[in-house]
Amino acid sequence: MRDRVRVGPTLVDFHEARDRVAATVHVTPMENSNSLSAVLGSPVYLKCENLQRTGSYKIRGAVNRLARLTDDEKTRGVVAASAGNHAQGVAYAARELGIPATIFMPIGAALPKLQATRHYGAHVELVGVTVAESLAAAAAFSERTGAVRIHPFDHIDIVAGQGTLGLDIYDQRPDLDSVLVPIGGGGLISGVASAIKQRAALDGRRVRVVGVQAANAASYPPSLAAGVPTEIPTLPTIADGILVNKPGELNFEMVREYVDDIVAVTDDETAQALLVLLERAKLVVEPAGAVGAAAILAGRVSDLGSTVVLLSGGNIDPMMMERVISHGLAASERYLKLRIPLPDRPGQLARVSAIVAEANANVLEVLHTRHNGGLQISQVELELHIETRGPEHADAVLAALRAEGFMPRVDF
């Protein structure tokens, strides 16, 4: 088998990595999803790495990479830069193996991720506004101290560690036809795709691997078109875990070899998927971990047969969760924020309330104000937050208000 692999770890490497990480990582559950199966039209299973130790699959690569360091390297310690999941994975792995770890995080890193990384025993330095600035600081630290840099995706031992997840998926669902995998730099998908394809080939089977990127940071399609890893301008995305502007070198070669297709999803689609996973599957998943489910719900993929959706992480801080829930509700038109100009006469608020109640919608918040620049002196504005049952119900509420002469503006 070793000879037949053109790029990256062999199946033997993946099995050895699995032995190395076995004592640390959980074999996470594989759940059925009736809601996603109904949308895709074939069975969908959720691989719950959101329930993995440290809250994401990242610990697999970190443990494998750190376990393979020489004694001298272990004594020098390790250094990494990350805004979240890689930081936690490296910190946890370092503690397990008794290796000193320094993690550079951007100043605005989410508090729960910062606290978890410190809690696992790493020394955390807050440097820079972006991960790129933290990376530069980590590189300088490595130069100064000799600490070994642990790249989040572009290293063969990281890829072999992430690929252990491919082996677990195949063991749990040897009948699968396809797997949907989130992509940032490509460490996760290169390992999973290579391991699962090499393993399935032993049984004479073929598994289709589809990567999913955030539309605001989709570096792979232009890189594949150009034939080389290509840096792209990115925009902010709620899927911060996969906000990477350039594929890794090794990862790019492996994706070219093993990945069948790549699609992208918008933040609205990801927010809606997060809500479905929360409401229907009772799973807390972070935005980067939910893009596979989003690809199904948004109709970006089809004809996949029996499909495993890899939920790669669950580290979402409560403030973000609150924002994503309201965004997801708004995107699926179950939460309407309306601005309605009203003549400044008694009884107008009661009329609007009656219309909304008559339409069976629930008022969540009301703000009645005269202080909006666009208003005339004889007008007030009513800001109304309403819960509806979905797009049709939302349209019915708007139509009922318009039929009574009001001019609601949807503001979300």
Ligand X SMILES: Cc1ncc(COP(=O)(O)O)c(C=O)c1O
- Residues with active-site annotation: 58, 312
For the chain, what is the total number of helices (H) and then of strands (E)? Answer: 16, 14
Task: Check residue 312 for interaction with ligand X (CB under 6 A).
Answer: yes
Task: Check residue 286 for interaction with ligand X (CB under 6 A).
Answer: yes
Task: Check residue 153 for interaction with ligand X (CB under 6 A).
Answer: yes
Q: Which of 82, 388 has the CB closer to ligand X?
A: 82
Q: Which of 58, 197 has the CB closer to ligand X?
A: 58
Task: Check residue 244 for interaction with ligand X (CB under 6 A).
Answer: yes
Q: Which of 146, 318 has the CB closer to ligand X?
A: 318
Q: Which stretch binds ligand X (CB under 6 A): 9-17, 21-29, 68-76, 283-291?
A: 283-291
Exactly one of 18, 60, 86, 199 binds ligand X (CB under 6 A); that residue is: 86
Task: Check residue 163 for interaction with ligand X (CB under 6 A).
Answer: no
Which of 180, 207, 190 has the alpha carbon at shortest distance from 295?
Answer: 180
Task: Check residue 184 for interaction with ligand X (CB under 6 A).
Answer: yes
Rounded CA gap, 109 and 221, in Å? 28
Rounded CA gap, 330 and 390, in Å? 9
Rounded CA gap, 313 and 48, in Å? 8
CB of 17 to ligand X, least distance (A): 15
Length of the chain: 412
CB-closest chain residue to ligand X: 313
Rounded to an integer, what is the distance from CA 66 to the centroid of its chain? 25
109 to 148: interface string for ligand X, x by CB under 6 A: ----------------------------------------
Total residues at the site for ligand X (CB under 6 A)? 21
CB of 59 to ligand X, least distance (A): 11
Q: Which stretch binds ligand X (CB under 6 A): 71-79, 240-248, 295-303, 370-378?
A: 240-248
Rounded to an integer, what is the distance from CA 228 to the centroid of its chain? 25
Task: Check residue 242 for interaction with ligand X (CB under 6 A).
Answer: yes
Please tell me whether residue 105 adopts helix, strand or coil conformation: strand
Exactly one of 24, 52, 56, 198 binds ligand X (CB under 6 A); that residue is: 56
Please tell me whether residue 104 adopts helix, strand or coil conformation: strand
**DSSP string of 248-267?**
-HHHHHHHHHH--EEEEE-H
Burial class (CB in 10 A: 0-12, 13-18, 19+), 392: exposed
CB of 54 to ligand X, least distance (A): 10
Helices within 173-219 (DSSP H only): 187-202
| Cβ contact 314:287 at 8 Å | no
Identify the sign of the CA torsion 400, 403, 407, 409.
Answer: positive
Rounded to an integer, what is the distance from CA 300 to the centroid of its chain? 16
CA angle 110, 116, 118 (to 5 degrees): 105
CB of 90 to ligand X, least distance (A): 12
Q: Which stretch binds ligand X (CB under 6 A): 34-42, 96-104, 176-184, 221-229?
A: 176-184
Q: Which of 56, 326 has the CB closer to ligand X?
A: 56
Exactly one of 166, 187, 292, 408 binds ligand X (CB under 6 A); that residue is: 187
Task: Check residue 44 for interaction with ligand X (CB under 6 A).
Answer: no
Task: Check residue 185 for interaction with ligand X (CB under 6 A).
Answer: yes
**Footprint on this chain of ligand X (rule: CB under 6 A):** 56, 85-86, 152-153, 182-189, 241-242, 244, 286, 288-289, 312-313
